[in-house]
Amino acid sequence: AIPAEQSRVFSTAQDNQTVVRVRICQGESRRLEANQGLGEFLLVDLPRGPRGHAKVSVTFVLDANGILQVQAKDLATGRAQGIEVNLVGGLSDDEIAKLRAKQDSLFGG
């Protein structure tokens, strides 16, 4: 049901990685390039360390007005960055239900 909120923790993929790019896309494909890009942002100044050391929580919040808020937070420092995307404009109730089902399958909701 909407409103909905889901979070997932990711870790860095490379040694000494200090920046994470968060890309927000909409679509059915598991391949990022096959989906429609909605926005992106950077979370910077992550603590240096071996890959997998820095943990970043990414939270998606979808409200009843079709506003999607995405926030990435470095769990060690509390530093956060985010973006707001307006999904209204063509999404039917059925499409919103499909997005919710996809979200549940990806994040175990």
For residue 17, what is the domain's CATH number? Answer: 2.60.34.10
Distance CA 41, CA 55 (A): 17
Distance CA 87, CA 24 (A): 12
- Residue 49, pLDDT score: 96
- Residue 78, pLDDT score: 97
Q: Are 73 and 57 in contact (CB under 8 A)?
A: yes
Task: Count up the domains in the chain and report the number.
Answer: 1
| Domain coverage including residue 45 | 4-107
- Residue 71, pLDDT score: 98
- Residue 32, pLDDT score: 84
Task: List per-residue pLDDT tens for the chain, 109 residues long.
Answer: 678 899 999 999 999 999 999 999 888 888 888 988 889 999 999 999 999 999 999 999 998 888 899 999 999 999 999 999 987 765 667 766 777 777 677 666 5
- pTM for the structure as a whole: 0.77
